[in-house]
Amino acid sequence: MTAVWQFLSRKQGRGGQLTLGDWLSYSYLLVGFLVIFLPVMWILLNSFKSAFQLDKQDISLLPTDYVRVARATVNDVNGKDIFIMSDLPDWVLNWKELDDAERQNIDLTAYISGFSGNEFYVLRSHLGMVDGLARALVEFKNLPDWLPRYSTLPTASKANFDVDAVLASVTSEERRLLSEWLGVKPFKANKLISQILVTAPHPETGEVQQWAVSTINPLYPTTAARSVSGDPSKVVKLPTETMETRRSLRPSWSNYSDPLQGKANNINVNFASCYTNSVLVTIIATVITLLINSMAAFALAKYKFRGQRAFFVMILATLMVPPAVTLVGVFKMITMTGLSGSIWGVIIPGAATPAGVFLLRQYMLTIPEELIEAARMDAASEWKVYWKIVLPLAMPAIAALGILSVIWRWNDLIVPMVAIATAKEAYTIQLCLLEFRGEFFAAEHYRLAMTVVSLIPTTLVFVFLQRYITTGIANTGMK
């Protein structure tokens, strides 16, 4: 650390005075540090935020949790009833985020038995109990067997079934349960939505009250809110600057543990398996790439044969071909060779890289011919010349290519999408990240956390081995 501080605190001026060059250098260093460091810190801090905090687009840096209440909406023959429910436990507010194991440890029947009226109805819907209770009722009372599929039938087909007669044959509470289950008007799905509890004066009376708001954006001058103690059916515009919230630091460690243990809700892939697949693909592909590229570079650098220059020019010409142009050919090759759905379909297509051949060939040109000739005079085979002499001497360039290959393969998305998109057991880490955003849900808290996990290997490789990259590339082509 002392050496680092001495380097960073150097000054060009006499007597330790800062010159214009010092100000420009330190300003450039600071800007570069912020450009690299701030996005990484933003991703890291946001990866610990809960799904609720991300859904509310909270722009605070720290992973905190608000004191929350619930806004309930119940539909019945009397119309829509909107009310606020306070003091609900966290597991109720976060019910959709719980996995199956966590839900099985909760006695829902015992919990909702302490509620009545509309509070009971909305909790029954929110906790997903309507379907199970309705099916049990159909079986217990031997009701028509078409009831479970009634809600999914088209409107024209529903006219063929007399649902009113079925509802008339049961009690009023049973009729409500079946109506909510079947979606019979005026009974619609009851909703319970988590809201942020804020304290602010009433815009007309000035009385300080508690309000429920869906989100807080400091860029907006006003925020829509509903009164907790007054009439919650009316929406009031509160000045955003007058609102006060209570929050506590609460990192969401489950963002990391759930995907790695295969317990992420609504996600049907195991991120630990994807991580293992990426490690295997990266290691095997890198080894094969180094072998093939070094052999090709050795032949182009140390052998003289007809068409040598033409082959080298053709290899370099492939660098100018956009990868997207070759996707169809790669897909056909993978399909025809039976590699589709296997990690070998990701490894083999990119085994030889023109950039790697060029890098190693230019470096091998610096190896003296006398060493190779001396080895041949000692009866060394061409394989021994390559393995015992050329390969060790070209190790700086090989190390640089190996590090670059690790970064390329680890971050590759296009080839895995072509080769293994239909086999989830073979998914790599980049494909797994796509699973955290579906058509009807977005698990951004999981995706941010797993993005941080996916960045760890390449970051460590680049930080600790970057000197090999710069040394290998800097020495390429030197005589």
Please say if the pLDDT value at position 59 is more than 60: yes
* Amino acid 16: pLDDT: 67
* Amino acid 294: pLDDT: 93
In this predicted model, what pLDDT tens digit does every residue of 327-351 receive, in sequence order? Answer: 888 888 888 888 888 889 999 988 8
pTM of the model: 0.74
Please say if the pLDDT value at position 443 is more than 90: no
* Residue bearing the bigger pLDDT, 264 or 385: 385
Please say if the pLDDT value at position 53 is more than 90: no
* Amino acid 13: pLDDT: 65
**pLDDT (mean) for 438-462:** 81
**pLDDT (mean) for 25-31:** 85
In this predicted model, what pLDDT tens digit does every residue of 165-208 receive, in sequence order? Answer: 888 888 988 989 988 888 888 887 789 998 999 999 988 888 89
Neighbouring C-alpha atoms within 13 Å toward the C-beta of 237 = 3
Euclidean distance between the first and the last CA atom of the chain, given in angstroms as a whole number: 37
225 CB neighbour count, 10 Å cutoff: 25
**Class of 196-249 in CATH:** mainly beta
In this predicted model, what pLDDT tens digit does every residue of 267-278 receive, in sequence order? Answer: 778 888 899 999
Neighbouring C-alpha atoms within 13 Å toward the C-beta of 271 = 25
Q: What are phi and psi of 264, to 5 degrees?
A: -65, 130
* Amino acid 478: pLDDT: 44
* Amino acid 229: pLDDT: 84
**pLDDT (mean) for 124-142:** 90
**CATH code of the domain occupying 260-475:** 1.10.3720.10
Mean pLDDT (the chain) is 85
Describe the crossing of helices 308-317 and 271-302 by its angle, rounded to 10 degrees.
150
- Using pLDDT thresholds of 50, 70 and 90, give the confidence band for residue 438: low
* Amino acid 479: pLDDT: 41
**pLDDT (mean) for 462-471:** 68
Which of 265, 262, 284, 285 has its CA nearest to residue 273?
262
* Amino acid 477: pLDDT: 46
Range from 21-25, 64-68, 86-90, 436-440 carrying the lowest mean pLDDT: 436-440
Q: Collapsing DSSP states into helix, strand and coil, what is residue 69?
A: strand
* Residue bearing the bigger pLDDT, 263 or 12: 263
Extents of the domains making up the chain:
66-191, 196-249, 260-475
234 CB neighbour count, 10 Å cutoff: 10
| Matching fold, domains 196-249 and 260-475 | no
**pLDDT (mean) for 124-135:** 91
* Residue bearing the bigger pLDDT, 229 or 470: 229
Strands (E), 94-206: 191-201
Q: Torsion over CA of 178, 181, 184 and 187, rounded to 10 degrees?
A: 90
Which of 400, 398, 394 has its CA nearest to residue 469?
400
* Amino acid 4: pLDDT: 59
Q: How far is 175 from 319, CA to CA, in rounded Å?
A: 70
In this predicted model, what pLDDT tens digit does every residue of 200-253 receive, in sequence order? Answer: 998 888 889 999 998 888 888 999 999 998 888 889 999 988 999 888 888 888
* Amino acid 470: pLDDT: 60
**pLDDT (mean) for 124-134:** 91
Please say if the pLDDT value at position 115 is more than 70: yes
**pLDDT (mean) for 367-383:** 88
Share of the chain residues as helix, strand and coil, in percent rounded to the nearest 5: 55, 10, 30
- Using pLDDT thresholds of 50, 70 and 90, give the confidence band for residue 297: very high
